[in-house]
Amino acid sequence: MYVVAITGGIGSGKTTVANQFAALGIEVVDADLIAREVVAPGTPALAAITSHFGPEILTEQGLLDRRVLRERIFSDQAAKSWLNALLHPIIRSEMLRQCAAVSSPYCLLVVPLLVENRLTELADRVLVMADRVLVIDVDEATQIERTCHRDGVSREQAQAILASQASRSERLAMADDVLDNQSGTTETIRARILALHETYLAFASQQAPQV
């Protein structure tokens, strides 16, 4: 399967752009969704996390309490490494499984924090899986404006989230392709997406085994 990984900061337009590829018939695999699914109630990973950190890691409803988990690993490098060693192989194999099950000519793998995770094993694994990295690019003022508008958060809150993510230049340094999701009209942007889609269709057909 030819895999295009798509990434970008908050409010850059990953979801919007992924939906446009989906409208062109391309199946989308969402790494964030997978990261949540693998620790859903009843999963072996949640059982392992609960026995490692104790039942206080669960909410009253038996869900993983991400806030508590974040606090527990924040200042504990060993706990963080343990968690990554547990989850990354599971997330990776589920991403591979879902990408392999795709029946469209190529697969779009949405990885919101690909760049932030670039120093971790997971990012290497994603990159090995991805044939191409597409970065959705807008300037920071646009990211803030669109995030505030979408989420109803203050400028300060949006700025704080941006500051916790990779910078625009760090992201662009990882790109094979860049989609400008800012300049021009909706139509211009749609045409850019269509051009990328044609390119990926061509790459995917070159890679397909000859019969």
Please state the closest distance from residue 207 (CB atom) to ligand ADP, in A: 27
Q: Order across the sheet with 132-137: list the strands.
A: 27-30, 106-110, 2-7, 132-137, 177-180
Residue carrying structure tokens 């392999």: 100
Q: Which is nearer to ligand ADP, 105 or 112 (CB)?
A: 112
Please state the closest distance from residue 32 (CB atom) to ligand ADP, in A: 10
Cα–Cα distance between 55 and 7 in angstroms, integer?
34
Virtual torsion, Cα 161, 117, 100, 48, nearest 10 deg: -90
Length of the chain: 211
Footprint on this chain of ligand ADP (rule: CB under 6 A): 8, 10-16, 146, 149-150, 181, 189
Q: Which is nearer to ligand ADP, 16 or 50 (CB)?
A: 16
Please state the closest distance from residue 163 (CB atom) to ligand ADP, in A: 16
Please state the closest distance from residue 209 (CB atom) to ligand ADP, in A: 34
Q: Which is nearer to ligand ADP, 71 or 170 (CB)?
A: 170
Q: Which is nearer to ligand ADP, 99 or 135 (CB)?
A: 135
Nearest to 53 by CA among 24, 21, 76: 76
Q: Which residues contact 99 (CB under 8 A, 6 or more apart)?
A: 1, 3, 29, 107, 109, 129
Q: Which is nearer to ligand ADP, 11 or 105 (CB)?
A: 11
Q: Which residues contact 144 (CB under 8 A, 6 or more apart)?
A: 11, 155, 158, 159, 162
Please state the closest distance from residue 7 (CB atom) to ligand ADP, in A: 9
